[in-house]
Amino acid sequence: MDKNRTEGAKHEVKGAVKEGIGKVTGNKSKEAAGNIEKNAGKVQHAVGKAADKERDAAQKH
């Protein structure tokens, strides 16, 4: 498993928690920062997933 997948998942969770805390406390900047981190984690996770698929395809040939 590509490291980007695990790191991306961690960032998604951290971002979601920050976003939730920001919503509960009314802190718009924390909410926005959490949303950004969550979305960056999704992108990083997708990059890792693509790298895994590419590596698996290369091993089959």
Buried-exposed string 16-46: b where 16+ CB fall within 10 A, e elsewhere: eebbeebeeeeeeebbeebbebbeebeebbe
From the CB of residue 4, how many other CB atoms can be counted at a distance below 10 Å?
Answer: 19
Tokens at residue 16, please? 């979601």
Give the separation between CA 4 and CA 57, rounded to whole angstroms.
Answer: 18
pLDDT digits (tens, 9 = 90+) for 11-44: 999 999 999 999 999 999 999 999 999 999 999 9
* pTM, entire model: 0.85
Question: In this predicted structure, what is the pLDDT of residue 21?
Answer: 98
Tokens at residue 29, please? 């900047």
